[in-house]
Amino acid sequence: DAGVTQSPTHLIKTRGQQVTLRCSPKSGHDTVSWYQQALGQGPQFIFQYYEEEERQRGNFPDRFSGHQFPNYSSELNVNALLLGDSALYLCASSLATGAWGSNQPQHFGDGTRLSIL
């Protein structure tokens, strides 16, 4: 049973560029959340997708956007990259038991390490 998979594992970009990160949820999961983890910090919530719509959003600018596909996979897009966007980007999936979430645990992938030069 495949867990959460993310691609690519590492990525190097320059300031001003745009990037797309991809996530396939664990089999049977329908909800995808994205987190950003700067070096030495705990992960910070970016947004969550359920039924192909953004359901919740953390304190991140509009440069961060996402998408969820009918097969529940998801993309995170970041425009106009800044040096401060260098981080580990984590995807987590879970199973919603209602329109407003679930107490079922989120399961994480190993992330995409994004470096901005």
Partner 1 sequence: DAKTTQPPSMDCAEGRAANLPCNHSTISGNEYVYWYRQIHSQGPQYIIHGLKNNETNEMASLIITEDRKSSTLILPHATLRDTAVYYCIAKTGANNLFFGTGTRLTVIP
Residues making contact with partner 1 (CB under 8 A): 4, 33, 35, 41-45, 48, 56, 58, 90, 92, 97-98, 100-103, 105-111
What is the nearest approach in angstroms of partner 1 to the Cβ of residue 77?
Answer: 19
Amino acid at 81: L
Query: Is the CB of 14 or the CB of 105 nearer to partner 1?
Result: 105
Backbone angles phi, psi at 85, to 5 degrees: -85, -5
Query: Is the CB of 18 or the CB of 86 nearer to partner 1?
Result: 86
What is the nearest approach in angstroms of partner 1 to the Cβ of residue 53?
Answer: 15
Query: Is the CB of 42 or the CB of 84 nearer to partner 1?
Result: 42
Q: In what order do the strands lie in the sheet with 64-68?
A: 5-7, 19-24, 74-78, 64-68
What is the nearest approach in angstroms of partner 1 to the Cβ of residue 54?
Answer: 12
**Cα–Cα distance, 17 to 46 (Å, whole number):** 19
Query: Is the CB of 35 or the CB of 72 nearer to partner 1?
Result: 35
What is the nearest approach in angstroms of partner 1 to the Cβ of residue 94?
Answer: 10
